Structure 1
Amino acid sequence: MWVITIHSKNGIKMFEFTTEKEAREKFAVIEGCKILSEVIYFNDKQLIET
């Protein structure tokens, strides 16, 4: 999952995207103070069970 976070004087807004391509296309046209992040979920049952 990809997330764009936008900081403005009105507050913080976050937008989620499924693909990197989709997120980067939108990131290019958004104005203002912005951050593009990739969210990685790590679920490995082998490391949880001992």
Structure 2
Amino acid sequence: MWVITLYLNEKIKMFEFHTEKEAREAFRNMEGDKYLSEIVYFNDPCFL
């Protein structure tokens, strides 16, 4: 899962995405201070 945290006008908003591609597209179009994070859970298939 990918998450964008956006700080704009003294407010915090978070947006969740399933793929990196869609998260990066949205990230490019957002204004304000923003952070793109990948969320990895211990039971994700990549750790099996």
TM-score normalised to the size of structure 1?
0.79
Alignment of 1:11-50 (within 5 A): 11-43=11-43
Q: Which runs of 4+ in 1 moved over 2 A?
A: none
Q: How far does residue 43 in structure 1 lie from its aligned partner after superposition?
A: 2.5
Please tell me whether Structure 1 or Structure 2 has the larger radius of gyration of its CA atoms: 1
Q: Does 1:8 align with 2:43?
A: no
In the alignment, the residues of structure 1 paired with residue 8 and residue 31 of structure 2 have an alpha-carbon distance, to the nearest angstrom, of 10
**Paired residues, what number?**
44
* CA distance in 2 between partners of 1:37 and 1:18 (Å): 12
Unaligned stretches of 5+ residues in structure 1 = 45-50
Q: TM-score, normalised by structure 2?
A: 0.82
